Amino acid sequence: MINPVIAEVTRGDIVESRHRGAYAVVDRAGHVVAAEGGIAAAVYPRSAIKAFQCLPVIESGAADHFGFTDEEIALCCSSHNGEPEHVRVARSMLAKGGNAESLYECGAHWPYFEEARFALVRHGEPCAAVHNNCSGKHAGMLALARQLGADPHGYVGLDHPVQQAIAKRIGELCDIDLSQQPVGVDGCSVPTWAIPLKNLALAFARFSDPQNKAARRIIEAVRAHPFMVAGTGDFDTLIMEAVPRLFIKTGAEGVYCAAIPHAGLGIALKVDDGAARAAEVGIAAVLAGLDVWTPEEKAALERFRHHDLANWRRIEVGEVRGLRL
Amino acid sequence: MINPVIAEVTRGDIVESRHRGAYAVVDRAGHVVAAEGGIAAAVYPRSAIKAFQCLPVIESGAADHFGFTDEEIALCCSSHNGEPEHVRVARSMLAKGGNAESLYECGAHWPYFEEARFALVRHGEPCAAVHNNCSGKHAGMLALARQLGADPHGYVGLDHPVQQAIAKRIGELCDIDLSQQPVGVDGCSVPTWAIPLKNLALAFARFSDPQNKAARRIIEAVRAHPFMVAGTGDFDTLIMEAVPRLFIKTGAEGVYCAAIPHAGLGIALKVDDGAARAAEVGIAAVLAGLDVWTPEEKAALERFRHHDLANWRRIEVGEVRGLRL
């Protein structure tokens, strides 16, 4: 099956580039409410399921035991910019869990946010694991290791109790036996299991069930602190600030997962070629097309469906837009 | 027509992302020697035809009049990294042409090369137009304006004598009336005309004709200074260092154009979704598949057809590879 074009980039009067992809919108009973493309194909959700990786941190009692705040729980579900506020909260999580920064196994990279990156360079400081966009998630995983009484060393390994606890929860939510699914190593070195879009969407519908207390705590934490999930100028932060009833998370290689708790819907989208620019406008197009919003929410989502493309002199040269299918 | 998958990205045991695209290989008589996908569709070549934009700089007599060296001619055809050597050569071209940096209309951006970018930040210097990857091309255009006796102000405009002289040469080489083609504004503010891949490939075959003296001068200049065309660690520099009989240039949004002068062939490739990673391994796959190389050249091209994908801890997690179609 060849997936449809879900986003395009124009320049002048023509389309310069096209992005294909697939998505599924599923309710809590597992009914496919809307879909395009091959939703049975397994895709790596990457960071789009950080909220699921955070569930055992709460359900194991680690979050309560170490006194994690809502801000910290939000950072645990984030792909953050490495801004000073993100780094501060990650360090607080480490300290509460009794974990040293040297235990991080996510690898170091420069903060995504230019101002934060340049501030380090100006002060002659190297980038560190705490600047890694996943450092909140990893601080949560290290706390989980402590709570489980496991050796924190090697916590990113497939067979480590931390990853096994996470795999169990993802499998339950997605209604799939993860041991039978392809597994890869993510950018931050933890396992990422390939899961059909349809099952990912189902999982987010289930995640949004108000009966799911740990999930409700996560959703409320993210709703209260959307900045923690991404950062200044980032799509996920901006769209959740504009539409607080939406729960959304990006993953590398063109993935988006979302939940609409008030409507009981879960959504999963993958851009075939992995482009983030297409995933952003594409998921906005899918969301804006659902009849579950107030007119104000719908108008806000519509604004995220397209944006101007400007060149180095800030001249408008084209547009990036998600398509209504 | 739906273009075939020409490159893919794996993670673990499965393909995570796929890139579609089209390419044409054409000889000097206009025969299509090899092709895949929709080669009649018009695409913006973007920076892939900087060598064509440089032709009038030579043919007008500007290059001789201002005494441009081979290094400077190579930079005129480049999308460079903004490394100190690139900046030095661009400034030399400006000085020789009697043009101030303030005449640049390409816009400023930080050097692509991290070390050069961080060096500016460390010294508290802002980025400037001379760091723009197109600053060599624009220095050539400003020299051309002087040579034509035209006002250098507004040299990026579609109706300016500089752009009209360039359009004439592109149209001749591509065998197409550019006034009838869609035109957009490029990242550096000059016009970019949409041209079918088949015509772009033909133009590069013609460009490689040894009878074309200005083109020969450009090819020899680039061959002598492949670093000037891109920079440290960049695909175009590395592949021409490895295979000096190849002339190649990338363009934004997944474009590659190339010439193989000894075989009289021109090649043009466009990745539908605009991804550079796919264009690189994709063009290498096309080139490696042509029977015009020594075994050593073929082996070198084959090495550019795929590369490991490493994560933040430099663990190998997958591969980016151009497909043999």
A44: closest chain B residue by CA: B16
| DSSP-derived pairing of the beta strands B316-322 and B5-11 | antiparallel
From CA B128, how far away is CA A108, in angstroms rounded?
29
| Residues of B with Cβ-Cβ distance to A183 under 8 angstroms | 12
Q: Say if the Cβ atoms of B253 and A105 lie within 8 Å.
A: no
To the nearest whole Å, the CA of B267 is away from the closest chain A CA by 19
By Cβ distance, the residue of A109, A186, A317 closest to B185 is A317
CA distance A45 to A258: 12
Asked if B273's CB is within 8 angstroms of A18's CB, the reply is: yes
Mutation to test the A interface, candidates B5, B6, B10, B17, most A Cβ within 10 Å: B17
Q: How far is B95 from chain A (nearest CA, A)?
A: 23
Residues B171-192, mean pLDDT to the nearest whole number: 97
What are φ and ψ of residue B98, in 5° steps? 70, 30
Among B44, B273, B312, whose Cβ lies nearest the Cβ of A188?
Answer: B312
Distance from CA of B202 to the nearest CA of A (A): 21
Q: What is the mean pLDDT of residues A16-39?
A: 98
Q: Give SS3 for B107.
A: coil
Whether residue A325 is predicted with pLDDT greater than 90 in this model: the reply is no
Contact B60, B147 (CB under 8 A): yes
What's the whole-number mean pLDDT along residues A306-316? 94
Asked if the model's pLDDT at residue B68 lies above 90, the reply is yes
Give dist(CA B139, CA B103) in Å, integer.
Answer: 9
- Residue pointed to by tokens 């050069």: B116
- Name which of A2, A44, A311 is nearest B16 (Cβ-Cβ): A44
Q: Which pLDDT does position A241 carry in this prediction? A: 98
CB contact under 8 A, A273 and B13: no
pLDDT digits (tens, 9 = 90+) for A120-152: 999 999 999 999 999 999 999 999 999 999 999
Does the pLDDT at position B1 exceed 90?
Answer: no
pLDDT digits (tens, 9 = 90+) for B141-164: 999 999 999 999 999 999 999 999
Chain A residues touching B188 at Cβ < 8 A: 311-312
Contact assignment for B317 to A278 by CB distance below 8 Å: no
DSSP code per residue over B45-79: -GGGGHHHHHHHHHHTSHHHHTT--HHHHHHHT--
Chain B nearest CA to A231, separation (Å): 20
pLDDT above 90 as % of chain B: 99
> Which residues of chain A have a CB within 8 Å of the CB of B17?
253-254, 271-274
Tokens representing A252?
């590398």
Task: Give Cβ neighbours of residue A299 (< 8 Å, ≥ 6 apart).
Answer: none
How far is the C-alpha of A232 from the C-alpha of B153, rounded, in Å?
Answer: 37
pLDDT digits (tens, 9 = 90+) for B250-308: 999 999 999 999 999 999 999 999 999 999 999 999 999 999 999 999 999 999 999 99
Rounded to a whole number of angstroms, the distance from the CA of A295 to the nearest CA of chain B is 33
Nearest to A272 among B12, B17, B121 (CB): B17
Question: Which of A43, A121, A185 lies closest to B311 in CB terms?
Answer: A185
Prediction ipTM score: 0.97
- Find the CB nearest A313 among B9, B107, B183: B107
* B20 interaction partners in chain A (CB closer than 8 Å): 20, 272-273
Q: And the tokens for B46?
A: 């973007």
Instruction: Return the pLDDT at B311.
Output: 94
Q: Which two tokens stand for residue B279?
A: 């264009």
Question: Cα separation of A305 and A325, whole Å?
Answer: 13
Read off the pLDDT band of A21 (50, 70, 90): very high
CA A99, CA A92: separation in Å to the nearest integer? 10
What pLDDT score was predicted for residue A1? 87
For the record, the structure tokens of B265 come out as: 């062939």
Residues of B in contact with A187 (CB under 8 A): 311-312, 317
Cross-chain Cβ contact A106/B313 below 8 Å? yes
The minimum CA-CA distance between B109 and chain A, rounded to whole Å, is 7
Mean of the pLDDT values across residues A274-294? 98
Mean pLDDT rounded to a whole number for chain B: 98
Nearest by CB to residue B2, choosing from A2, A274, A318, is A2
Is the pLDDT score of A196 beyond 90?
A: yes
The chain A residue lying nearest B271, using CA atoms, is: A17
Confidence bin at B325 (pLDDT 50/70/90): confident
For residue A273, the chain B residues in CB contact (below 8 A) are 17-20, 272-273, 275, 278
Measured at the CA of A124, the angle between CA A87 and CA A122, to 5 degrees, comes to 80
In order of their start, the domains of chain A are 5-322 (3.40.710)
Nearest to B311 among A122, A189, A312 (CB): A189
B184 vs A42, A186, A318: nearest CB: A318
The alpha carbon of residue A106 is apart from the nearest alpha carbon of chain B, in Å, by 7
**Which residues of B fall within a CB distance of 8 Å from A107?**
311-314
Shortest distance between the Cα of B163 and any Cα of chain A, in A, equals 17
Q: What is the DSSP string of B119-168?
A: HHHHTTPPP-GGGSTTHHHHHHHHHHHHHTT--STTTTSTTSHHHHHHHH
pLDDT at A267 over 90: yes
pLDDT, average across residues A4-22: 98
In chain A, which residues have their Cβ closer than 8 Å to the Cβ of B13?
Answer: 182, 184
CB contact under 8 A, B14 and A253: no
**Chain-chain contact of B187 with A318 (C-beta, under 8 angstroms):** no
Give tens-digit pLDDT for B93-120: 999 999 999 999 999 999 999 999 999 9
* A62: nearest Cα among A149, A173, A167, A133: A149
All residues of chain B having their beta carbon less than 8 Å from the beta carbon of residue A21 are none
Closest partner residue to A272 among B18, B42, B109, by Cβ? B18
Are the beta carbons of B44 and A105 separated by less than 8 Å? no
Q: Which amino acid is at A3?
A: N
Closest chain A residue to B126 measured between Cα atoms? A118
Counting one residue from A and one from B, how many pairs have CB atoms under 8 Å apart?
Answer: 138
